[in-house]
Amino acid sequence: MMFEGKVALVTGASRGIGRAIAADLSKNGASIALVGRDEAALGETVEACRLANSAAKVKVLTGDVADRASVDAFVGETVNEFGRVDFAIANAGQSIDSLLLRLKDDVTDQMLSVNLKSAFYLCSAVAKPMMKQRSGSIVLMSSIVGLTGNAGQAAYAAAKAGLLGLAKSLAKELGSRNIRVNAVAPGLIETAMTEKIPDAAREYMLKQTALGRAGRPEDVSGVVSFLCSDAAGYMTGQTLVVDGGVVM
């Protein structure tokens, strides 16, 4: 129970990696604020948290992470409920694939809003209580396509690459207040988002993976818990790649 007395806020907590992160933090004793748009799916995440820890304290917050006022409200409600916020996990994300010459402006705007601007809003909102506490850990969920790029994913990759620069910049801004900011870049992870990948593309991706398999959400959640823990207390501005050995 290394996170006893700690409070975490996780966006994109409805399913997949976000649900696994919430359950892992709960297992280790943290109180959790779950943020998402699907209330029914968030209810399933609550069950996952309480399965991991029967005494888990969980709060559900529904709304749009791409709206600054909503994100400010999420953080305010979390602090009002639990008294503090120690960990903020910017996990909300969406992928809409399109080749550049077919890429519509509304898709570009959506990719930047959901994948990048939402993280700006979350970091800005949690920085205030964390600075007051003089402690905190922020984890931004990027992707290996933010490191390597990928044909047909220019908008998504640009947003995910932006998170890496955001992590480094905020690590320098907030480090004097004992607030750490790191990023995680997963590869092919078995989630609802990756179920839509065509078989041929999946087979190609697996051939590029040294471990020869897709990852599980739990492969990522353990890394996030590490970054929140005291074991990573001297790590900030870093990107941890969790891809089974694609990017080396």
Q: How many C-beta neighbours within 10 Å does residue 226 have?
A: 16
pLDDT in tens, 169-214: 999 999 999 999 999 999 999 987 777 777 888 888 899 999 999 9
Give me 20's structure tokens: 């696994």
**Is residue 248 in a domain?**
no
Looking at residue 4, what DSSP letter applies? T
Active-site residue, selected from the candidate residues 121, 156, 204, 234: 156
Per-position pLDDT tens, the chain of length 248: 799 999 999 999 999 999 999 999 999 999 999 999 999 999 999 999 999 999 999 999 999 999 999 999 999 999 999 999 999 999 999 999 999 999 999 999 999 999 999 999 999 999 999 999 999 999 999 999 999 999 999 999 999 999 999 999 999 999 999 999 999 999 999 987 777 777 888 888 899 999 999 999 999 999 999 999 999 999 999 999 999 999 98
Burial 162-184 (b: 16+ CB within 10 A, else e): bbbebbbebbeebeeeebbbbbb
Number of continuous H segments (helices) and E segments (strands) in the chain = 9, 7
**2 inside domain:** no
Does any domain span residue 219? yes
* Structural domain that includes position 212: 7-242
pLDDT of residue 196: 74
Return phi, psi of residue 181, to 5°.
Answer: -135, 120
d(CA 85, CA 87): 6
Closest CA to 78 of 100, 93, 57: 57
Is residue 53 included in any domain, yes or no?
yes
**What contacts 26, CB < 8 A, 6 or more positions away?**
32, 49, 50, 52, 53, 56, 58
Domain count for the chain: 1
pLDDT at residue 154 in the model: 95
Model confidence, pTM: 0.95
We report the CATH number of the domain holding residue 212 as 3.40.50.720
In a domain, 247, yes or no: no
pLDDT of residue 195: 76
Instruction: Count other Cβ atoms within 10 Å, centred on residue 97.
Output: 17
CB atoms within 10 A of CB 157: 23
> Is 222 part of a structural domain of the chain?
yes
What is the model's pLDDT at position 80?
98
Q: What distance in Å separates the CA atoms of residue 147 and residue 187, rounded to the nearest whole number?
A: 11
Residue 121 appears among annotated catalytic residues = no
Residue 161: the pLDDT is 98
